[in-house]
């Protein structure tokens, strides 16, 4: 059938339409999970670093509270042994001045702000000084790398892909290097440490590469959709085949019904001739035998001829017996689109056409609505297509073409069936529509005569001709439902 590659295309589209959103959803979900994990880790890192920073504020406040300027043992110098991130402690006793002006400036600020203040931050060396103003001023030198409590760290610093940094006034210190690729999705986190005395930003960055997407799940989903659609397609095909078989069966029944009428007409025609001959011959024989002397020889030959004609009649009756088993159906005229009727017939014959290696070419401008008995019309088209296929089977596969044209002119719609078969012999052409005329072995010779009768019954015509270049052309004309040209 001409539309089967298109149907295949629709199935592929359906497969893409169902599987792609699923793939996007799986990928999006995975990214969301990775983002959530990243943000949780980044928040924990921020909290841990903030806790350490706040600790320094507390230590300075404790020193200011507890230490007196007269304490000469300088116990604050023992702090680095307790807190490894504290590298050094400086102290300015009351009445003395700081050895460096930046500490004096920081202490002034601290006095105003009433909290510890950053005196100097050297990110290159990863250290900074923190100063608190009091009667006895104190300054702590902090190792920035010691800010990170690695034992409580939520990631494995050597292998984690997340980069963690501290940033302040254009300076940057990398605490955990991570691995940042150039493609994929980037997650960012930035937040101030939770103390004003050490106004650093905790910055975390992570880059999720394409390789980290759950490809296994995505492929499994795509495959699952393909399997499900294949199942649906299989069921659909089965249903199609069943429908086609049922329609063929119905058409076969109708064909037999119509054939009966045709057979009766053909019979009358075929049996009438031999009967008339039998009558004439037997009357002649009777007359010859009544003569004196009786002409026995001529009477015998007349009787032999009568026997022959009677046998011919018996043969026709025998054919009738074999072919008939149902009564004739009724004709119901309605508006029918020739295109639709043709499509149905083609649908029913699709497997045979395919086996015959024929792809019909359709030439139609649009719908052609004719007045016809839908069932009879289908039967005529079915017969014409069957005949065309039988003709095409007599030529090599590569030369088989079947062109179906639809057109409407004046008050008639036409279907033209042109095959590239051997065409119709000149002596066959005049008898083509005669009942029981066939050139095929096993042919009944009723198909075309029935088609012609059905066409006439629907106020149409069926004609046959040879094509100018090759093959036979059968033209079915039927009255248009609305005559062309009338509004």
Using CB under 6 A, list all residues that contact ligand ADP: 387-388, 391, 419, 421, 424, 428, 432, 437-440, 443-449, 472
Cα first-last separation, the chain: 36
Least distance from ligand ADP to the Cβ atom of residue 439, Å: 4
DSSP state, residue 330? P
Strand partners, 364: 406
Instruction: Please give the residue whose beta carbon sits closest to ligand ADP in the complex.
Output: 447
- Report the number of secondary-structure helices (H) and strands (E) in the chain: 8, 15
Least distance from ligand ADP to the Cβ atom of residue 340, Å: 23
Q: Which is nearer to ligand ADP, 405 or 438 (CB)?
A: 438
Q: Which is nearer to ligand ADP, 373 or 419 (CB)?
A: 419
Q: How far apart are CA 435 and CA 267, in angstroms?
A: 9
Least distance from ligand ADP to the Cβ atom of residue 447, Å: 3
Q: Which is nearer to ligand ADP, 178 or 421 (CB)?
A: 421
Least distance from ligand ADP to the Cβ atom of residue 403, Å: 12
* CB distance 427 to 466 below 8 Å: no
Q: How far apart are CA 303 and CA 278, in angstroms?
A: 8
Residue whose token pair is 């100018």: 468
* Both structure tokens of 393: 């089977």
Least distance from ligand ADP to the Cβ atom of residue 383, Å: 6
Q: Which is nearer to ligand ADP, 207 or 258 (CB)?
A: 258
Q: How far apart are CA 163 and CA 178, in angstroms?
A: 4
Q: Which is nearer to ligand ADP, 142 or 263 (CB)?
A: 263
Least distance from ligand ADP to the Cβ atom of residue 258, Å: 13
Q: Which is nearer to ligand ADP, 83 or 437 (CB)?
A: 437
Dihedral, 150, 152, 154, 156 alpha carbons, nearest 10: 40
What is the chain's percent helix, strand, coil content, to nearest 5? 50, 20, 30
* CB distance 482 to 369 below 8 Å: yes
Least distance from ligand ADP to the Cβ atom of residue 425, Å: 8
Q: Which is nearer to ligand ADP, 408 or 444 (CB)?
A: 444
Q: How far apart are CA 435 and CA 142, in angstroms?
A: 114
């Amino acid at each position: 059938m001409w539309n089967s590659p298109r149907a295949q295309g629709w199935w592929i589209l359906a497969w893409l339409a169902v599987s792609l959103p699923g793939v996007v959803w799986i990928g999006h979900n995975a990214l969301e999970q990775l983002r959530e994990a990243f943000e949780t880790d980044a928040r924990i890192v921020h909290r841990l670093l903030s806790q350490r920073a706040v600790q320094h504020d507390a230590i300075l406040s404790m020193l200011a509270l507890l230490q007196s300027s007269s304490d000469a043992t300088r116990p604050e110098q023992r702090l680095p042994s307790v807190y490894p991130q504290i590298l050094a402690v400086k102290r300015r006793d009351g009445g003395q001045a700081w050895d460096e002006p930046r500490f004096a400036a920081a202490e002034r600020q601290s006095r105003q702000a009433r909290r510890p203040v950053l005196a100097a931050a050297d990110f290159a060396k990863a250290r900074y000084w923190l100063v608190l103003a009091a009667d006895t001023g104190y300054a702590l030198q902090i190792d920035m790398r010691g800010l990170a409590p690695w034992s409580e760290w939520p990631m494995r610093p050597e292998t984690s892909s997340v980069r963690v940094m501290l940033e302040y006034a254009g300076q940057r210190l990398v605490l955990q290097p991570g691995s940042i690729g150039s493609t994929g999705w980037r997650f960012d986190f930035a937040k101030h440490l939770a103390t004003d005395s050490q106004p650093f930003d905790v910055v975390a960055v992570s880059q999720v590469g394409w390789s980290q997407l759950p490809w296994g799940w995505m492929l499994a989903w795509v495959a699952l959709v393909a399997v499900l659609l294949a199942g649906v397609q299989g069921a659909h095909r089965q249903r199609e085949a069943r429908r086609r078989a049922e329609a063929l069966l119905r058409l076969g029944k109708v064909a037999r019904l119509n054939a009966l009428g045709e057979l009766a007409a053909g019979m009358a025609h075929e049996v009438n001739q031999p009967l008339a001959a039998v009558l004439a011959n037997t009357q002649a024989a009777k007359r010859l035998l009544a003569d004196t002397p009786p002409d026995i020889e001529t009477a015998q030959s007349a009787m032999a001829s009568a026997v022959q004609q009677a046998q011919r009649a018996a043969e026709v009756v025998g054919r009738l017996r074999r072919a008939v088993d149902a009564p004739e159906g009724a004709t119901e005229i309605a508006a029918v689109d020739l295109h639709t009727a043709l499509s149905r017939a083609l649908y029913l014959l699709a497997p045979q056409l395919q086996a015959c290696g024929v792809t019909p070419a359709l030439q139609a401008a649009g719908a052609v609505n004719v007045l016809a008995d839908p069932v009879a019309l289908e039967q005529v088209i079915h017969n014409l297509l069957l005949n065309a296929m039988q003709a095409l089977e007599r030529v090599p596969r590569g030369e088989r073409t079947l062109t179906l044209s639809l057109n409407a002119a004046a008050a008639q719609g036409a279907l033209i069936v042109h095959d590239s078969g051997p065409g119709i012999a000149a002596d066959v052409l005049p008898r083509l529509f005669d009942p029981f005329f066939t050139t095929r072995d096993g042919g009944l010779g009723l198909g075309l005569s029935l088609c012609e009768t059905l066409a006439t019954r629907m106020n149409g015509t069926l004609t046959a001709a040879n094509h100018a270049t090759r093959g036979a052309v059968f033209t079915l004309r039927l009255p248009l439902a609305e005559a062309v040209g009338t509004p």
